[in-house]
């Protein structure tokens, strides 16, 4: 028996060690990406200064003072805010419908189409908006970019809303119905309030997705990085599009700005993800 117990302990330790090694191997690419972006991005930001890099226009022809990403950062903020507004307005009723009428055939079809849209190539979304809104208007504009991002973000938010509502205990539902509240009043006045943290997590996840998307913007906003966007009907830029464009240029000033912008975007996305994670820990039903 002692020998068998020792073998079991040895096998357990070997298994745990193998799992740890495999987990470290899976995380190694992430750590490598973070390290490379951080090292190169800090160098770019240091040459201009943090405040100047976040507020000034790019000056890629002078590698020693490459300027910043201020106009592109403003464009990203506008696109994220507008696309989040559009997507929340559609994802909230869609998520409620999926969660509350889950046995209906239309609800199951809506859920299936939503999950398909999650995997839908985002470049095709950009092409669709280009073929409809951009060609109809006649020029690139920020509204087209916000619409494209809203379509990309919508299924993520809808799924999070439906899952948050499904996680509410049955007792709370019965309590809401016991006071003679209709189904819609119970959902919108009681259940959504209980599930608000889970819904907010979905909104934050969609926000991070919108901030990092590039493909839908290639055909919609025009890529103007020197000046801030002049309203919704004019062209503009975004941080993710600046990275894509400048990283392909031959001059070192362009690549420096691309590295710095990548670091800023990575920090933004990580901050949003951490906030979402903290909210998940605080969910109490």
**Domain coordinates in residue numbering, the chain:** 70-281
**C-alpha 4: how far from its chain's center?**
51
Model confidence at 4, in pLDDT bands (50, 70, 90)?
low
Taking residue 219's Cβ as centre, other Cβ atoms within 10 Å add up to 20
Cβ-in-10-Å burial (0-12, 13-18, 19+) of 240 comes to buried
Give the long-range contacts of residues 34-39, CB within 8 A, separation 24 or more: 34/266, 37/259, 37/262, 37/263, 37/266, 38/263, 38/266
Question: What would the mean pLDDT of 159-166 be, rounded to a whole number?
Answer: 82
pLDDT band at 181 (very low <50, low <70, confident <90, very high): low
Question: pTM here?
Answer: 0.85
Mean of per-residue pLDDT scores for the chain: 84
> Residue 283 has what pLDDT?
47
Q: Which residue in 262, 220, 260, 258 sits closest to 237, CA to CA?
A: 220
The span from the first CA to the last CA of the chain, in angstroms, equals 48
Question: Residue 281: which pLDDT band, with cuts at 50, 70 and 90?
Answer: low
Assign domain 70-281 to a CATH class: mainly alpha
DSSP helix/strand/coil, 49: coil
Cα distances (Å, whole numbers) of residue 160 to 1, 71, 96, 205, 229: 51, 32, 10, 9, 31
């Amino acid at each position: 028996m002692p020998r068998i117990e020792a073998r079991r302990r040895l096998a357990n330790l070997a298994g745990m060690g193998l799992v740890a090694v495999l987990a470290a191997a899976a995380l190694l690419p992430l750590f490598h990406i973070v390290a490379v972006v951080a090292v190169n991005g800090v160098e770019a930001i240091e040459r201009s200064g943090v405040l100047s890099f976040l507020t000034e226009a790019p000056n890629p022809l002078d590698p020693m003072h490459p300027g910043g990403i201020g106009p592109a950062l403003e464009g990203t903020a506008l696109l994220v805010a507008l696309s989040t507004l559009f997507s929340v307005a559609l994802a909230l009723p869609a998520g409620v419908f999926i969660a509350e009428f889950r046995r209906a055939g239309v609800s199951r079809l809506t859920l299936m189409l939503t999950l398909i849209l999650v995997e839908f190539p985002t470049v095709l979304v950009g092409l669709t908006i280009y073929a409809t809104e951009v060609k109809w208007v006649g020029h690139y504009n920020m509204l087209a970019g916000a619409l494209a991002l809203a379509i990309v973000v919508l299924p993520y938010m809808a799924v999070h809303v439906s899952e948050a509502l499904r996680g509410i205990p049955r007792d709370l539902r019965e309590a809401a119905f016991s006071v003679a509240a209709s189904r819609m009043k119970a959902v919108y006045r009681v259940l959504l309030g209980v599930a608000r943290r889970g819904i907010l997590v979905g909104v934050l996840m969609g926000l991070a997705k919108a901030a990092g998307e590039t493909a839908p913007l290639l055909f919609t906003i025009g890529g103007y990085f020197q000046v801030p966007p002049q309203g919704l009907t004019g062209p503009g830029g975004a941080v993710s599009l600046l990275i894509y464009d400048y990283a392909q240029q031959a001059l070192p000033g362009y690549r420096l700005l691309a590295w710095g912008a990548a670091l800023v975007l990575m920090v933004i996305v990580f901050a949003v993800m951490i906030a979402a994670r903290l909210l998940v820990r605080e969910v109490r039903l």
